[in-house]
């Protein structure tokens, strides 16, 4: 939509090998488990970016979408050498309609081209052909007349398990076929996560989130790679360290995607239980704390400094 | 993207009154509770539509998106006078990236312009500012530089409750402010819905889905309109009539969105427990059974005939 920042780059080479192995290799290569949350908010985008895009497009959804993309490119360029993973949260983009979705796609492509692993945070959930549609979009290939083509083609996707295995299976199969991963919501970081997740089930023997842990373990058992980790991971919030320690025991082979560090109140000590003793098994997300660390012209450098600070903080726990 | 079928119509007049009242009025006016699921699949779109769009755009995502929109306009024109509600499932559109999302937006706008109530079936779920983002997109207004504007602006949205009230509250608030509705997943129609939903909680006194029913009742208690129904509704599958009868008791004021009729195996007798004795309180969705009832030039007339057949079938239960 905007030629100047168009990043419709040539396709990233396909690698259908096990997602968990690729993620563990990236964490080892960068020497840290930091995931940068690319969650842009128009009110916090530097003025110089917005001004430029408004001059070009007026005060439109198109200007918002192009502001997001330009902002993200700055962040990605600043952190690509130091972190292994980025996680764009789709809600922020979708607000600006199909133009926002364009910025989302271009952001994912740009990050992948720079060698970053992209986790699409969309918490998709449905059944049957609908779940298959989501799996096609984010992880696999979509039907296009006489051929099949990748669409959004992220490296991994967050999914919500309320519908049971019917709602997970199409994603697991896409993981196997295309070398992708999923992170299933198990214990989320928010205050009311217990409304459902903490309820005792199985005659008082476990909570819903513990039950979900066991299900995630079984769903991912066929997708364990040479690293010893499975491509079916779990979302476990940094704000519940005690529960995280329990879930870590039930899910020794899963990689945890850990939100809640930084702005939501979790610190390095809180995320420690999400890791195995080998220092692996989790990636820790920070969004606002990194991407909005600075403002104006220096925002990208400030985000790099904030990422380095987070990396140093996480190194204190091992 | 395609001038010929561009339906960027002038804005539909805003009506911030209670959503449940508007939905009940529409059901009474049309004399039936049928919801047509606009879930297009490229392989089943009539050839004459695809041929025309391929001639214009080649075998591209743009041709797919325009095929969907042209197909939907045909269906909407054929059923607008006889049914009260349509429910486009976003997964089918999202497959074709931002171009698919454009077709989704235009479909929603076109249906609203024709006087239909649009339920965006997206099963969104997240917390805090992210949930707020989804609420802005589908139900409220998004921040655009110095102003706020509606974005996708559906009439209602399906949401998933795994994260508890934090993940529901922004949607409930948008319902209140903008006269919108939500349908919370309670008991879904798929075979493995019991993996989580049927687990006994509260010392064996109720299932997770029953617990969820009670939560939905409390979340929606402030949004009961003059019709006696709340703008916070529930998704209850037609494939579980026994459970539906229980949930109906717990949720006398909620409107049920009922999937699973037709292609998924539910019949008129199966959906009866989803209704109150006044014949209200539920809308029943059919997707494939209506939109793919015919093919080629006669597809729209065939969909109208299928909708009329479903209306007649549902009339047998009262």
Asked if pLDDT for residue A3 goes beyond 80, the answer is no
Alpha carbon distance, N-terminus to C-terminus of chain B? 46
Q: What separation in angstroms does the CA of A137 have from each of A15, A22, A78, A120, A273?
A: 17, 21, 28, 11, 33
pTM for this model (two decimals): 0.96
Question: Is any Cβ of chain B less than 8 angstroms from the Cβ of A147?
Answer: yes
ipTM of the assembly? 0.95
Q: What is the mean pLDDT of residues A172-192?
A: 96
* Cα distance between residue B80 and residue B157, in whole Å: 20
E strand or H helix at A70: helix A61-79
Whether B158 and B235 have beta carbons less than 8 Å apart is answered as: yes
Between A190 and A233, residue with greater pLDDT: A233
* Cα distance between residue A45 and residue A296, in whole Å: 8
pLDDT cut 70: percent of chain B above it = 96
Domains defined along chain A, listed by start: 19-315 (3.20.20.70)
* Cα distance between residue A40 and residue A43, in whole Å: 9
Q: What is the mean pLDDT of residues B201-219?
A: 94
CA angle A57, B90, B175 (to 5 degrees): 80
B142, B160, B166 ranked by CB distance to A95: nearest: B142
Q: What separation in angstroms does the CA of A26 have from each of A30, A64, A78, A227, A303?
A: 6, 32, 17, 12, 20
* Cα distance between residue B75 and residue A28, in whole Å: 53
Question: Is any Cβ of chain B less than 8 angstroms from the Cβ of A43?
Answer: yes
Give per-residue pLDDT as tens, B72-91: 999 999 999 999 999 999 99
Which residue in the list B28, B52, B113, B123 is annotated as catalytic? Answer: B123
- Identify all chain A residues contacting B185, using CB atoms and an 8 Å cutoff: 162-163
- Identify all chain A residues contacting B143, using CB atoms and an 8 Å cutoff: 41-43
Question: Is any Cβ of chain A less than 8 angstroms from the Cβ of B263?
Answer: no
Question: Among this protein's residues, is A123 annotated catalytic?
Answer: yes
Q: Which of B312, B317, B308 has its CA nearest to residue B241?
A: B317
- Identify all chain A residues contacting B166, using CB atoms and an 8 Å cutoff: 190-193
Q: Is B312 helix (H, G, I), strand (E, B) or coil?
A: helix
Q: In angstroms, what separates the C-alpha of B309 from chain A's closest C-alpha?
A: 24
Does the distance separating the beta carbons of A151 and B96 come in below 8 Å?
yes
Choose the weakest-confidence range: A2-16, B277-291, B300-314.
A2-16
Does the distance separating the beta carbons of A125 and B123 come in below 8 Å?
yes
Residue A205: per-residue pLDDT: 93
Does the distance separating the beta carbons of B203 and A200 come in below 8 Å?
yes
Provide the pLDDT confidence category of residue A14 given band limits of 50, 70 and 90.
Answer: confident
- Identify all chain A residues contacting B292, using CB atoms and an 8 Å cutoff: none
Q: What is the mean pLDDT of residues A84-113?
A: 98
Q: What is the mean pLDDT of residues B156-165?
A: 96
Question: Is any Cβ of chain A less than 8 angstroms from the Cβ of B287?
Answer: no
- Identify all chain B residues contacting A211, using CB atoms and an 8 Å cutoff: 196, 199
Give per-residue pLDDT as tens, A147-176: 999 999 999 999 999 999 999 999 999 999
Q: Any idea of the CA torsion for B156, A131, A212, A179, to the nearest 10 degrees?
A: -140
Which residue in the list A123, A187, A202, A315 is annotated as catalytic? Answer: A123
Asked if pLDDT for residue B5 goes beyond 60, the answer is no
């Amino acid at each position: 939509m905007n030629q100047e920042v168009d990043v419709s780059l040539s396709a990233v080479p396909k690698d259908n090998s096990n997602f968990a192995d690729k993620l563990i290799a990236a964490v080892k290569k960068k020497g840290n488990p930091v995931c940068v949350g690319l969650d842009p908010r128009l009110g916090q985008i530097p003025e110089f970016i917005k001004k430029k895009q408004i001059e070009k497009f007026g005060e439109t959804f198109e200007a918002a979408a192009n502001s997001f993309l330009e902002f993200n490119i700055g962040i990605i360029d600043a952190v690509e050498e130091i972190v292994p993973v980025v996680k764009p949260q789709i809600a922020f983009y979708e607000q600006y309609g199909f133009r926002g979705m364009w910025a989302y796609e271009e952001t994912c492509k740009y990050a992948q081209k720079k060698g970053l692993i992209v986790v699409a945070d969309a918490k998709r959930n449905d059944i049957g052909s609908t779940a298959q549609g989501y799996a096609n979009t984010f992880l696999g290939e979509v039907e296009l007349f006489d051929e099949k083509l990748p669409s959004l083609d992220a490296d991994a996707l967050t999914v919500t398990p309320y519908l049971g295995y019917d709602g997970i299976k199409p994603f697991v199969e896409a993981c196997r076929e295309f070398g992708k991963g999923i992170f299933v919501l198990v214990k989320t970081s928010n205050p009311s996560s217990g409304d459902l997740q903490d309820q005792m089930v199985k005659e008082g023997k476990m909570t819903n989130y513990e039950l979900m842990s066991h299900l995630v373990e079984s769903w991912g058992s066929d997708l364990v790679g040479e690293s010893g980790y499975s491509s079916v991971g779990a979302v476990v919030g940094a704000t519940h360290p005690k529960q995280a320690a329990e879930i870590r025991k039930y899910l020794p082979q899963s990689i945890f995607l850990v939100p809640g560090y930084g702005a939501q109140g979790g610190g390095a000590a809180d995320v420690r239980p999400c890791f195995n003793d080998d220092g692996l098994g989790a990636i820790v997300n920070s969004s606002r704390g990194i991407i909005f660390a600075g403002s104006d012209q220096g925002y990208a450098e400030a985000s790099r400094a904030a990422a380095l600070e987070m990396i140093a903080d996480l190194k204190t726990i091992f």
